Amino acid sequence: MRPVMLVAALAVCLGVAGCTGNEKMAANAPSEMVLDCGNGVKMTLVYIPAGEFLMGSPAAEKDRDDDEGPQHRVRITRGFHMAVHEVTHEQYEAVMGENPSHFKGANLPVEQVSWNDAVEFCKRLSAKWGKTVRLPTEAEWEYACRAGTTTPFYFGETISTNQANYDGDFVYGSGQKGEDRQKTMPVGSFPPNAFGLHDMHGNVWEWCGDWYDSGYYRKSPPSDPQGPETGESRVIRSGSWSGSPNFCRSADRAWLDPSLPYLITGFRVMAPLPRAK
Protein backbone atom coordinates (compact mmCIF):
# COMPACT_ATOMS: atom_id res chain seq x y z
CA MET A 1 0.00 0.00 0.00
CA ARG A 2 1.36 3.45 -0.91
CA PRO A 3 2.24 5.71 2.08
CA VAL A 4 -0.54 8.16 1.26
CA MET A 5 -3.10 5.38 1.14
CA LEU A 6 -1.89 3.97 4.46
CA VAL A 7 -2.25 7.33 6.21
CA ALA A 8 -5.68 7.90 4.67
CA ALA A 9 -6.81 4.49 5.86
CA LEU A 10 -5.54 5.18 9.36
CA ALA A 11 -7.42 8.49 9.44
CA VAL A 12 -10.67 6.73 8.59
CA CYS A 13 -10.05 3.88 11.07
CA LEU A 14 -9.40 6.36 13.88
CA GLY A 15 -12.64 8.18 13.15
CA VAL A 16 -10.89 11.50 12.57
CA ALA A 17 -13.14 12.45 9.69
CA GLY A 18 -16.41 11.91 11.53
CA CYS A 19 -18.36 10.61 8.51
CA THR A 20 -19.73 14.01 7.46
CA GLY A 21 -20.89 14.72 3.93
CA ASN A 22 -17.47 16.11 3.13
CA GLU A 23 -15.74 12.93 4.28
CA LYS A 24 -18.16 10.68 2.39
CA MET A 25 -17.16 12.64 -0.70
CA ALA A 26 -13.53 12.28 0.31
CA ALA A 27 -13.91 8.49 0.45
CA ASN A 28 -14.36 8.58 -3.32
CA ALA A 29 -11.48 10.98 -3.92
CA PRO A 30 -8.67 9.54 -6.08
CA SER A 31 -5.43 8.85 -4.23
CA GLU A 32 -3.55 10.54 -7.05
CA MET A 33 -4.49 13.20 -9.57
CA VAL A 34 -2.57 14.35 -12.66
CA LEU A 35 -3.04 17.87 -14.06
CA ASP A 36 -2.14 18.94 -17.59
CA CYS A 37 -0.07 22.15 -17.48
CA GLY A 38 0.06 22.36 -21.28
CA ASN A 39 2.65 21.40 -23.91
CA GLY A 40 2.57 17.82 -22.63
CA VAL A 41 3.81 18.82 -19.16
CA LYS A 42 2.03 17.11 -16.25
CA MET A 43 1.76 17.72 -12.51
CA THR A 44 0.97 14.96 -10.00
CA LEU A 45 -0.96 15.62 -6.80
CA VAL A 46 -1.66 13.14 -4.00
CA TYR A 47 -4.59 12.97 -1.62
CA ILE A 48 -4.15 14.26 1.94
CA PRO A 49 -6.99 13.12 4.24
CA ALA A 50 -8.81 15.36 6.71
CA GLY A 51 -7.62 15.16 10.30
CA GLU A 52 -6.19 16.93 13.33
CA PHE A 53 -2.65 17.81 14.39
CA LEU A 54 -0.67 19.94 16.81
CA MET A 55 0.43 23.06 14.94
CA GLY A 56 3.55 24.90 16.01
CA SER A 57 6.41 23.63 18.13
CA PRO A 58 6.69 22.58 21.76
CA ALA A 59 8.46 25.04 24.04
CA ALA A 60 11.50 22.77 24.37
CA GLU A 61 12.16 22.32 20.65
CA LYS A 62 15.67 23.40 19.66
CA ASP A 63 15.89 26.75 17.82
CA ARG A 64 12.20 27.39 18.37
CA ASP A 65 10.98 30.94 17.64
CA ASP A 66 8.29 32.69 19.65
CA ASP A 67 5.96 32.88 16.65
CA GLU A 68 5.73 29.06 16.62
CA GLY A 69 3.61 29.08 19.77
CA PRO A 70 1.55 28.44 21.54
CA GLN A 71 1.39 24.96 20.10
CA HIS A 72 -2.29 24.29 19.45
CA ARG A 73 -4.59 21.64 18.02
CA VAL A 74 -5.89 22.35 14.52
CA ARG A 75 -8.55 20.44 12.63
CA ILE A 76 -8.39 20.21 8.83
CA THR A 77 -12.00 19.44 7.99
CA ARG A 78 -11.66 18.62 4.30
CA GLY A 79 -9.21 16.41 2.52
CA PHE A 80 -7.30 17.91 -0.38
CA HIS A 81 -4.80 17.04 -3.07
CA MET A 82 -1.30 18.52 -2.89
CA ALA A 83 1.45 18.55 -5.49
CA VAL A 84 4.03 15.84 -4.89
CA HIS A 85 6.76 18.29 -5.87
CA GLU A 86 7.45 22.00 -5.83
CA VAL A 87 6.42 23.64 -9.12
CA THR A 88 9.21 23.02 -11.63
CA HIS A 89 10.70 25.20 -14.36
CA GLU A 90 8.90 23.29 -17.10
CA GLN A 91 5.55 23.39 -15.30
CA TYR A 92 5.83 27.11 -14.63
CA GLU A 93 6.85 27.86 -18.21
CA ALA A 94 4.05 25.72 -19.64
CA VAL A 95 1.46 27.73 -17.68
CA MET A 96 3.03 31.19 -17.59
CA GLY A 97 5.01 31.27 -20.85
CA GLU A 98 8.23 32.32 -19.10
CA ASN A 99 10.84 31.08 -16.66
CA PRO A 100 12.34 33.64 -14.25
CA SER A 101 14.67 31.20 -12.47
CA HIS A 102 18.37 31.79 -11.89
CA PHE A 103 19.29 28.10 -11.80
CA LYS A 104 18.62 26.20 -15.03
CA GLY A 105 17.03 22.79 -15.45
CA ALA A 106 13.55 21.64 -16.46
CA ASN A 107 13.06 19.54 -13.32
CA LEU A 108 14.42 22.08 -10.83
CA PRO A 109 11.97 23.97 -8.61
CA VAL A 110 11.12 27.36 -10.03
CA GLU A 111 12.53 30.27 -8.00
CA GLN A 112 12.65 34.04 -8.27
CA VAL A 113 8.86 34.08 -8.21
CA SER A 114 6.89 36.46 -6.02
CA TRP A 115 3.77 35.50 -4.08
CA ASN A 116 1.80 37.46 -6.70
CA ASP A 117 3.42 35.35 -9.46
CA ALA A 118 2.51 32.14 -7.63
CA VAL A 119 -1.11 33.24 -7.25
CA GLU A 120 -1.30 34.12 -10.94
CA PHE A 121 0.08 30.67 -11.80
CA CYS A 122 -2.69 29.11 -9.71
CA LYS A 123 -5.34 31.20 -11.47
CA ARG A 124 -4.14 30.18 -14.91
CA LEU A 125 -3.80 26.50 -14.01
CA SER A 126 -7.29 26.60 -12.49
CA ALA A 127 -8.63 27.99 -15.77
CA LYS A 128 -6.91 25.21 -17.73
CA TRP A 129 -8.23 22.51 -15.41
CA GLY A 130 -11.68 23.96 -14.76
CA LYS A 131 -11.36 23.50 -10.98
CA THR A 132 -9.66 25.38 -8.15
CA VAL A 133 -5.90 25.20 -7.71
CA ARG A 134 -4.37 27.46 -5.05
CA LEU A 135 -1.56 27.94 -2.57
CA PRO A 136 -2.01 25.99 0.66
CA THR A 137 -2.84 27.80 3.85
CA GLU A 138 -0.11 27.76 6.46
CA ALA A 139 -2.08 25.19 8.47
CA GLU A 140 -2.62 22.93 5.44
CA TRP A 141 1.06 23.18 4.62
CA GLU A 142 2.26 22.18 8.09
CA TYR A 143 -0.33 19.40 8.35
CA ALA A 144 0.82 18.01 5.00
CA CYS A 145 4.48 18.40 5.91
CA ARG A 146 4.20 16.62 9.26
CA ALA A 147 2.20 13.70 7.83
CA GLY A 148 1.39 12.52 11.34
CA THR A 149 4.78 13.26 12.91
CA THR A 150 5.43 15.48 15.95
CA THR A 151 9.23 15.74 15.66
CA PRO A 152 11.10 18.79 14.29
CA PHE A 153 11.35 17.11 10.88
CA TYR A 154 9.25 14.41 9.30
CA PHE A 155 12.47 12.38 9.30
CA GLY A 156 12.73 12.63 13.11
CA GLU A 157 14.70 14.66 15.63
CA THR A 158 17.39 15.72 13.16
CA ILE A 159 18.10 15.84 9.45
CA SER A 160 20.96 15.27 7.00
CA THR A 161 21.83 16.51 3.52
CA ASN A 162 21.05 12.99 2.29
CA GLN A 163 17.43 13.76 3.20
CA ALA A 164 17.05 17.39 2.11
CA ASN A 165 18.81 20.25 0.33
CA TYR A 166 20.07 22.89 2.77
CA ASP A 167 23.43 24.39 3.79
CA GLY A 168 25.21 21.36 5.23
CA ASP A 169 27.87 23.50 6.89
CA PHE A 170 25.32 23.81 9.70
CA VAL A 171 23.88 21.00 11.83
CA TYR A 172 20.74 20.51 13.88
CA GLY A 173 20.73 18.64 17.16
CA SER A 174 22.82 15.47 16.97
CA GLY A 175 23.17 15.73 13.19
CA GLN A 176 26.43 15.93 11.27
CA LYS A 177 27.80 18.35 8.69
CA GLY A 178 27.01 17.52 5.08
CA GLU A 179 27.03 19.06 1.62
CA ASP A 180 26.56 22.74 0.89
CA ARG A 181 25.37 22.42 -2.71
CA GLN A 182 24.79 26.17 -3.16
CA LYS A 183 22.01 25.50 -5.64
CA THR A 184 18.58 23.94 -6.01
CA MET A 185 18.26 20.24 -6.70
CA PRO A 186 15.86 18.43 -9.07
CA VAL A 187 12.52 17.76 -7.40
CA GLY A 188 12.19 14.24 -6.04
CA SER A 189 15.92 13.91 -5.28
CA PHE A 190 15.23 13.18 -1.61
CA PRO A 191 12.94 10.77 0.28
CA PRO A 192 9.25 11.74 0.63
CA ASN A 193 7.20 11.93 3.82
CA ALA A 194 4.39 9.49 4.69
CA PHE A 195 1.96 11.35 2.42
CA GLY A 196 4.31 10.94 -0.54
CA LEU A 197 5.40 14.61 -0.65
CA HIS A 198 8.99 15.49 -1.53
CA ASP A 199 11.07 18.51 -0.47
CA MET A 200 8.82 19.75 2.30
CA HIS A 201 12.16 20.41 4.03
CA GLY A 202 14.63 22.57 2.09
CA ASN A 203 15.31 23.17 -1.62
CA VAL A 204 13.22 26.36 -1.88
CA TRP A 205 11.03 28.23 0.57
CA GLU A 206 7.37 27.75 -0.38
CA TRP A 207 4.80 30.54 -0.45
CA CYS A 208 1.60 29.94 1.53
CA GLY A 209 -1.66 31.79 1.08
CA ASP A 210 -1.68 33.50 4.50
CA TRP A 211 -0.68 36.93 5.63
CA TYR A 212 1.97 36.70 8.35
CA ASP A 213 1.26 37.68 11.96
CA SER A 214 3.74 36.69 14.68
CA GLY A 215 0.92 36.44 17.25
CA TYR A 216 -1.66 34.70 15.09
CA TYR A 217 -1.48 31.38 16.94
CA ARG A 218 -2.89 33.02 20.06
CA LYS A 219 -6.14 33.78 18.23
CA SER A 220 -6.21 31.15 15.49
CA PRO A 221 -9.53 29.29 15.10
CA PRO A 222 -9.42 25.54 15.83
CA SER A 223 -10.71 24.50 12.40
CA ASP A 224 -9.27 25.41 8.99
CA PRO A 225 -7.44 28.61 9.98
CA GLN A 226 -7.00 30.98 7.05
CA GLY A 227 -4.52 33.41 8.60
CA PRO A 228 -5.00 37.13 9.33
CA GLU A 229 -7.36 39.16 7.15
CA THR A 230 -4.69 41.76 6.38
CA GLY A 231 -0.94 42.15 6.62
CA GLU A 232 2.22 43.32 4.93
CA SER A 233 4.10 40.05 4.40
CA ARG A 234 3.10 36.56 3.26
CA VAL A 235 4.12 33.33 4.96
CA ILE A 236 6.84 31.11 3.56
CA ARG A 237 7.64 27.59 4.80
CA SER A 238 10.22 24.78 4.41
CA GLY A 239 13.64 26.43 4.41
CA SER A 240 15.90 26.42 1.35
CA TRP A 241 19.12 25.35 -0.30
CA SER A 242 20.97 28.36 1.16
CA GLY A 243 19.79 28.19 4.78
CA SER A 244 20.62 26.21 7.89
CA PRO A 245 18.56 23.14 8.88
CA ASN A 246 16.73 24.86 11.74
CA PHE A 247 14.77 26.80 9.11
CA CYS A 248 13.69 23.49 7.55
CA ARG A 249 11.77 22.39 10.66
CA SER A 250 8.08 21.56 10.16
CA ALA A 251 7.02 24.35 12.54
CA ASP A 252 9.38 27.09 11.36
CA ARG A 253 7.65 30.23 10.08
CA ALA A 254 9.11 32.99 7.94
CA TRP A 255 7.74 35.81 5.84
CA LEU A 256 8.58 37.96 2.80
CA ASP A 257 7.18 40.83 0.74
CA PRO A 258 4.60 39.24 -1.60
CA SER A 259 5.41 41.62 -4.46
CA LEU A 260 9.08 40.67 -4.74
CA PRO A 261 10.82 37.62 -6.27
CA TYR A 262 13.57 35.89 -4.33
CA LEU A 263 16.32 33.46 -5.33
CA ILE A 264 15.35 31.19 -2.42
CA THR A 265 11.58 31.13 -2.93
CA GLY A 266 9.25 28.92 -4.96
CA PHE A 267 5.93 27.20 -4.25
CA ARG A 268 3.72 24.14 -4.58
CA VAL A 269 -0.01 24.00 -5.21
CA MET A 270 -2.98 22.19 -3.75
CA ALA A 271 -6.49 21.44 -4.95
CA PRO A 272 -9.29 21.45 -2.36
CA LEU A 273 -12.14 18.98 -2.55
CA PRO A 274 -15.48 20.66 -3.24
CA ARG A 275 -17.73 21.05 -0.21
CA ALA A 276 -20.61 18.61 0.09
CA LYS A 277 -23.95 20.08 -0.92
Identify the three-state secondary structure at position 114.
Answer: coil
| CA distances to 243, 262, 267 from 146, in Å | 20, 25, 17
Which CATH number belongs to the domain containing residue 124 in this structure? 3.90.1580.10
Per DSSP, 276 falls in state: P
Contact at 8 Å (CB) between 53 and 146?
Answer: yes
d(CA 253, CA 247): 8
HSE at residue 8, side-chain half, CA atoms within 13 A, is 24
pLDDT confidence of residue 274: 79
Is residue 51 a contact partner of residue 212, using CB atoms and an 8 Å limit?
Answer: no
Domain containing 138 equals 3-272
Q: Is 159 part of any domain?
A: yes
User: Residue 132: its pLDDT value, please?
Assistant: 97
Total domain count for the chain?
Answer: 1
- Identify the CA nearest to 158 among candidates 139, 177, 141, 144: 177
Measured CA to CA, the distance from residue 32 to residue 44 in angstroms comes to 7
Vertex 20, ends 19 and 26: CA angle to 5°?
80
Closest CA to 80 of 56, 54, 51: 51
**What is the distance between the terminal CA atoms of the chain, rounded to a whole angstrom?**
31
Q: What is the pTM of this model?
A: 0.91
Position 97 in a domain: yes
In a domain, 233, yes or no: yes
CA 22 to chain CA centroid, Å, is 22
Q: Does the residue 277 lie in any domain?
A: no
Q: Report the distance separating Cα 104 and Cα 97, nearest Å.
A: 16
Tell whether 152 is covered by a domain. Answer: yes
| Cα of 256 vs its chain's centroid, Å | 16
The series of mean pLDDT values per 10 residues for the chain, 277 residues long, is: 35 39 62 96 98 98 98 98 98 98 98 98 97 98 98 98 98 97 98 98 98 98 98 98 98 98 98 80
Instruction: Using DSSP bridges, classify how beta strands 80-83 and 270-272 pair: parallel, antiparallel or unpaired.
Output: antiparallel
Q: From CA 157, how far away is CA 19, in angstroms rounded?
A: 34
Beta bridge partners of 45: 33, 83
